[in-house]
């Protein structure tokens, strides 16, 4: 199984943190980039997926086919808005159809599975993984109660309600990366 990416949204619906693990091309940076939300990673080895939506990857037919070179997909701000829109829409649909006591925790398609963990303060932790993965909500809770509390909430240098800058903390980024890579399901 594979973990693709992690998004953290604040209570203002803004993406304040993003990290990916399995992408060959970096996310296209928008003109009005918010510093600290994401970082460009070094290109991944050839044969890895470009994104979770690409059909070719290691072990899939057509992986050796060379596609014409084109501009990277959506700019980061558009991609994060789409992810948040899916979360918000499905969460509202679940509440309307099932009642106020039910929660939206995950959503599965043929390409990925979206896991959601919401905090009482309005932060939404969204993890995209392989569709065959079981619920990873406990992983999101561990990130919230561990690295997020230690390196973001308890850090006086991090402005929690900043509409200008995301979570730009090297220790938090390293702790999240270490936590994810230590999971048995991480590929």
Strands (E), the chain: 3-9, 15-20, 106-108, 113-118, 124-129
pLDDT tens sequence for the chain (187 residues): 688 899 999 888 888 889 888 765 566 655 555 545 555 444 444 444 545 555 544 444 444 444 444 555 777 778 888 888 888 888 888 888 887 777 888 889 888 899 999 999 889 999 998 888 888 999 999 999 999 999 989 988 777 776 667 787 888 999 999 998 888 877 7
- Topology of domain 3-181, per CATH? Beta-Lactamase (3.30.450)
Q: Which residue's entry shows tokens 């109660």?
A: 145
Long-range contacts of 45-50 (CB under 8 A, 24+ apart): 48/22, 48/23, 48/24, 49/22, 49/23, 49/24, 50/23, 50/24, 50/25
Supply the pTM of this predicted model. Answer: 0.74
Domain ranges of the chain: 3-181
H or E element that contains 138 = helix 137-143
């Amino acid at each position: 199984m594979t973990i693709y990416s992690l998004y953290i949204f604040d209570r203002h619906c803004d993406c304040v943190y993003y990290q990916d693990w399995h992408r060959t091309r970096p996310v296209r940076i928008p003109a009005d980039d918010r510093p600290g939300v994401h970082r460009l990673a070094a290109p991944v080895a050839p044969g890895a997926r470009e994104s979770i939506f690409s059909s070719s990857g290691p072990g899939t037919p057509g992986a050796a086919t060379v596609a014409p070179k084109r501009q990277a997909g959506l700019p980061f701000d558009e991609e994060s808005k789409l992810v948040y829109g899916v979360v918000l829409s499905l969460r509202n649909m679940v509440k309307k159809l099932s009642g106020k006591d039910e929660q939206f925790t995950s959503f599965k398609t043929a390409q990925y599975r979206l896991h959601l963990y919401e905090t009482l303060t309005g932060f939404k932790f969204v993890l995209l993984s392989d569709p065959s993965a079981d619920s990873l909500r406990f992983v999101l809770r561990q990130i919230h109660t561990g690295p997020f509390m230690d390196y973001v909430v308890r850090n006086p240098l991090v402005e929690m309600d900043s509409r200008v800058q995301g979570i730009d903390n090297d220790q938090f980024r390293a702790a999240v990366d270490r936590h994810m890579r230590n999971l048995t399901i991480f590929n």
